[in-house]
Amino acid sequence: MLAAIANAFSEKRTKTARIPGDSGVFLFVLADMSMFGLFFLSFIYERSKNVPLFNESRLALDVNLGAINTIILLTASWFVVVAVQAAKRGKLNYVAPFLFLGFVCGAVFGGIKIYEYADKIQSGISMMSNDFFMFYFILTGIHFIHVIAGMVILAVLWHNARHKRYHGENCKGLESGATYWHMVDLLWIIIFPVLYMLG
C-alpha cells in the first residue's frame, strides 16, 4: 500500500492538462479568493495601526473551537474528494454517502460557529465593539454564507448521486461543486490563524 501511495505522489504530469470541472467555476473561485485576499491584507494593515487592541481582542476568541472547525472542514473536503474519486472509478455506491458525510461536517461547522456567535453576543461583543471584531464578524460571516451555499451545493450533488447521475463519463458537475467546497475549506485555513492566532 505504501508503494502505491508513493507512486500516486510521484505521479508525473504526463497526462494532458485538464480542468477538473467547469472553467467558469474555477474563475469564480479565483475571483472569490481574491476578494478574501483583499480582506486579509486590509485586516493586517488595520492591525498594524493598533497591535495591542488586536492582540487583546483575539484573546476573547476560543482557539480550540477554531481548530476543531478547521479539522471538521478538512475532513469534509476529504469526504468530497473520496466521492469524486469513487464516481470517476465507477464505484457509484460510495458517491452519495460520502457527499452526505461532507454535508454533515458542514452542518457541524455551522453549529459551532453559531455557538461562538451567541457566546460573543451574550458577552456584549458585537461588530461595533472595535475594529478587530468588525473584521471578525464580517470575515467569518461572509465565510459562513459560503459554507451555507456549499451545503446547498452538496445537497444537490447528493440528490443527483443517489440517482447515479455522476460516473466516469459525467463528472463535471460533481467536480465543479467539489471545487467550490474546497475553496470554502481553504479560506478557513487562512481565516483561522489570522483571526484566532494573530489578533
Partner 1 sequence: MGIVFNSSTVVWLILVLSTCTTWWLSAGSVTFTSVAAILVIAAIKIRFVFSYFMEVRHMPIAWRLAFDGWLVIVTAGLVSGIWFSA
Provide the binding-site residues for partner 1, judged by CB under 8 A.
1, 4-5, 8-9, 13, 15, 17-20, 26, 30, 33-34, 37, 40-41, 44-45, 47-48, 51, 55, 63-64, 67, 70-71, 74-75, 77-78, 80-82, 85-86, 89, 91, 94, 175, 178-179, 182-183, 185-186, 189-190, 192-194, 196-198
User: What phi and psi, each to the nearest 5 degrees, are found at residue 125?
Assistant: -100, 130
CB of 34 to partner 1, least distance (A): 7
CB of 155 to partner 1, least distance (A): 20
Helix/strand/coil for 91: coil
CB of 79 to partner 1, least distance (A): 9
Q: How far, in Å, CA of 107 to CA of 15, rounded?
A: 37
DSSP single-letter state for residue 10: T
Residue entry with cell 455557538: 115
CA distances from 31 to 42, 77, 113, 161, 199 (A): 17, 20, 25, 28, 26
* Nearer residue to partner 1 within complex by CB, 7 or 122: 7
Q: How far, in Å, CA of 76 to CA of 92, rounded?
A: 19
CB of 119 to partner 1, least distance (A): 19
* Nearer residue to partner 1 within complex by CB, 124 or 169: 169
